[in-house]
Amino acid sequence: MSATEKLRVTNQINLSKYALPWLGVSGVFVVWHMISLSYPPFILPSPLLVAERFIDRLQDGTWFFHTTATFTEALAGLGCGVILALLLGYAIAKLDWIDRLLSPIVVASQGIPFIAVAPLIFIWFGNGMGAKILLCTLIVFFPILINVVVGIRNVSPTLRDLFRVYHASPWQSLTKLEIPAALPTLIGGLRVGGTLSVIGAIAAEFTSASRGLGFMIQQGNNLYDTALVFVGVLTVIALALMLYISIGWLGHKLIKI
């Protein structure tokens, strides 16, 4: 294959890689617009009406105010959930007695309906940001924990034996073997946790909040301002995608190191 043909094939691959997602998104908006023509705006607003409402909220500063609040809660909850899952997940993966002691409790905790626990969290810890961060932490904790345990346990026994032969310290085994080997699995858990952290923040704001995208969506529902609801929902989707893509990009860079 000549250099020209290779360049043409590469350009075609790049075109399909970057153009097709945008084509799919554009198709969704076109279908949305066509369907909205058959309904009044308070039932299904058109994309143009949603864009107008977004510009209005952007200009008066309320969009940035609510988005910043939700993003802060989600990021803080994700950070706390990651730290807790890393510490507990590593202990469960390495020590059988901790696994037998805590795994049933952790798994059983996931059967508790979140919608039932959320009001209790606000009763016990107040209506401040700390309670919302706690709820985000509880939501992201379990999937990240599972990936930590799976990643650490799937480290090659041959490599473990090799480190043992060379008398590697526990710290060297952790930093030079276990973390690099488990990193792809950990990144997968973090990407799931990143999207769940935004959902947790919204759910917490639905329960009790005076700011945030959840509050803005509720405000739109109460006023029958469906366009405002769409602005909030699309912003939530954008935040979740941003976290998902950013964590994936960071993981890609770390794995290449």
Q: Break the chain into its structural domains and give their ranges.
A: 1-32, 46-256
* pTM, full prediction: 0.83
Tokens of 97: 């007695």
* Amino acid 7: pLDDT: 46
Residue 12: CB atoms within 10 A of its CB come to 10
For domain 46-256, say whether CATH 3.40.605.10 is its number. no
pLDDT by residue, tens only, the chain of 257 residues: 555 554 454 555 555 566 667 777 788 888 888 888 888 888 888 889 999 999 999 998 899 999 999 999 999 999 999 999 999 988 988 888 888 888 888 877 777 777 777 778 888 887 778 888 888 888 888 888 989 888 888 888 888 888 888 888 888 888 888 888 888 888 888 898 889 899 888 988 887 778 889 899 998 888 888 999 999 999 999 999 999 989 888 888 877 65
Residue 79: CB atoms within 10 A of its CB come to 15
* Amino acid 80: pLDDT: 92
* Amino acid 68: pLDDT: 93
**How far is Cα of residue 30 from the mean position of the Cα atoms in its chain?**
27
* Amino acid 1: pLDDT: 52
